[in-house]
Amino acid sequence: MSLRSVCVFCGASTGSNPAYREAAIALGQSIAQRGLTLVYGGGAVGLMGIVADAALAAGGEVVGIIPESLKNAEIGHPGLTRLEVVDGMHARKARMAELSDAFIALPGGLGTLEELFEVWTWGQLGYHGKPLGLLEVNGFYEKLTGFLDHVVEEGFVRSQHRAMLQVSPEPSALLDALDAWQPLAPPKWADETPR
Ligand code: AMP
């Protein structure tokens, strides 16, 4: 598939290591340099603001989706190509998913994890065929990916669904992998083959 837009999920904080900020800048630049539209949560704070600023500074288009209730807390970014204000968190995630051809999580907290896992489960159910990736920074996601392998070993996730999540420390390599990704065949929940 040829990507036109990429959604980035990331912390509303910057985290404790400057490497996270640097990774957000590199990812924002890489997205813009490829002519892709960045879709994100619309805030000006934390890694959210940093990835958006980096994409804008590199001449990219950036679309933010922010719930009315968070416009002040996360400070709706004033300089975006477009800021959409929606009714709530559910509408935010649905709109980000609708506008994006792929999803990348940078380091972040509960919101980032929740956004990533929700869009992943939508893919697992065949609601969309869009790829997902983690930008690995400083081993931030190592324990999570190890745990996900454990969940597969224990028979709760199929390996083809685990493989939907690409991981790379390098923005350009990650975007290449997402671009090359082939959607899975639609799930056959009706059959009784063991996982
Ligand atoms: P965090 O990773 O916790 O710093 O949050 C990153 C982003 O996720 C912020 O824009 C949060 O507002 C957002 N967020 C947190 N919880 C949710 C949720 N349930 N649905 C959508 N966005 C959320």
Q: What H or E segment, with its residue span, contains residue 42?
A: none
Domains in the chain and their CATH numbers? 5-105+125-134+158-180 (3.40.50.450)
Q: Which atom of ligand 1 is nearest to the CA of 90?
A: 20
Residue 188 has pLDDT above 60, yes or no: no
Mean pLDDT of 131-156: 98
Candidates 55, 31, 41, 62; CA nearest to 179 is: 31
Q: Which atom of ligand 1 is nearest to the CA of 118?
A: 20
CA–centroid distance, residue 190 to ligand 1 (Å): 34
What confidence tier does 1 reach under pLDDT thresholds 50, 70, 90?
Answer: low
Candidates 143, 139, 106; CA nearest to 23 is: 106
Strands 62-67 and 82-86: parallel
Tens digit of each residue's pLDDT (9 = 90 or more) over 106-118: 999 999 999 999 9
- The percentage of the chain sitting over the pLDDT mark of 70, rounded to a whole number, equals 94
Predicted confidence at residue 154, as pLDDT, reads 98
CB 80 within 8 Å of CB 42: yes
Half-sphere exposure of 28 (CA within 13 A, CB side): 26
Predicted confidence at residue 10, as pLDDT, reads 98
CB 187 within 8 Å of CB 126: yes
Candidates 151, 76, 85, 84; CA nearest to 117 is: 151
Alpha carbon 81 to chain centroid distance?
19
Predicted confidence at residue 192, as pLDDT, reads 45
- 172 vs 156: CA distance, rounded Å: 32
CB 25 within 8 Å of CB 33: no
- 139 vs 45: CA distance, rounded Å: 23
With a 6 A CB cut-off, is 89 part of the ligand 1 pocket? yes
Predicted confidence at residue 189, as pLDDT, reads 54
With a 6 A CB cut-off, is 12 part of the ligand 1 pocket? yes
| Residue partners of 40: CB distance under 8 A and separation at least 6 | 7, 8, 9, 10, 48, 51, 52, 62, 63, 64, 65, 96
With a 6 A CB cut-off, is 170 part of the ligand 1 pocket? no
Mean pLDDT of 15-37: 98
Ligand 1, atom 14, residue with closest C-alpha = 111
Residue 143 has pLDDT above 60, yes or no: yes
Predicted confidence at residue 184, as pLDDT, reads 75
What confidence tier does 190 reach under pLDDT thresholds 50, 70, 90?
Answer: very low
To 10 degrees, the CA torsion angle through 144, 147, 152, 154?
Answer: -160
